[in-house]
Amino acid sequence: MKTEKEKMLSGELYMASDEQLASERLQARIILKAFNESQPVEGEKRKELLHDLMGKVGKNFYIEPPFYCDYGYNIEAGDDVFFNFNCVVLDVMPVKLGDRVLCGPNVQIYTATHPMDAGTRGSLLESAKAITIGDDVWIGGGAIICPGVSIGSRSVIGAGAVVTKDIPEDVFAAGNPCKVIRSLI
């Protein structure tokens, strides 16, 4: 029989109130509190805290506090990734960011989702869908990346966009719902 964590990581319905998952979220929040309350001159301390929190980060990974996530260990970032102020990553399933991904302030990346059926949703079961963001992507401030979305390399997501479907490589996409506006090549 699968644990709730195994169910969560395989995209199945799972119970988020599970003791192990609650403990892991608490551990992430303790690290995030230290990170978010750190001083701007404490660059090494911030770097160590992020390395303790995240699953994998490349060189020159940088986040402007405050930052929030569920677990941290499901976030994988390439080299030269930057998150501006007040970003949220609900990393119930993997969030993979390529190299040189830039996230404006208030970017929200959500893998977590809930059943559409009210009865199932009322049972407090949840699920999630992984998110993949390619290399050299710029996500404008206030954009929301919804569960299961992939964003192709070298694309730009306009500020305030709500990305509900996959975005191909080399395009500018914006709006709510987000749609391709034009090619960048």
Q: Is 114 a catalytic residue?
A: yes
Q: Rounded CA gap, 37 and 34, in Å? A: 5
Structural contact between residues 163 and 140, judged by C-beta atoms closer than 8 angstroms: no
Three-class secondary structure of residue 14 per DSSP? strand
Q: Which residue shows structure tokens 């690290």?
A: 31
Strand intervals (E) in 10-151: 14-15, 56-57, 62-63, 67-69, 75-77, 82-83, 87-90, 95-97, 102-103, 108-110, 112-113, 125-128, 131-133, 138-139, 144-145, 150-151
Looking at 114, 142, 179, 180, which residue is catalytic? 114
Three-class secondary structure of residue 30 per DSSP? helix
Structural contact between residues 99 and 117, judged by C-beta atoms closer than 8 angstroms: no
Looking at the annotation, which residues are catalytic?
114
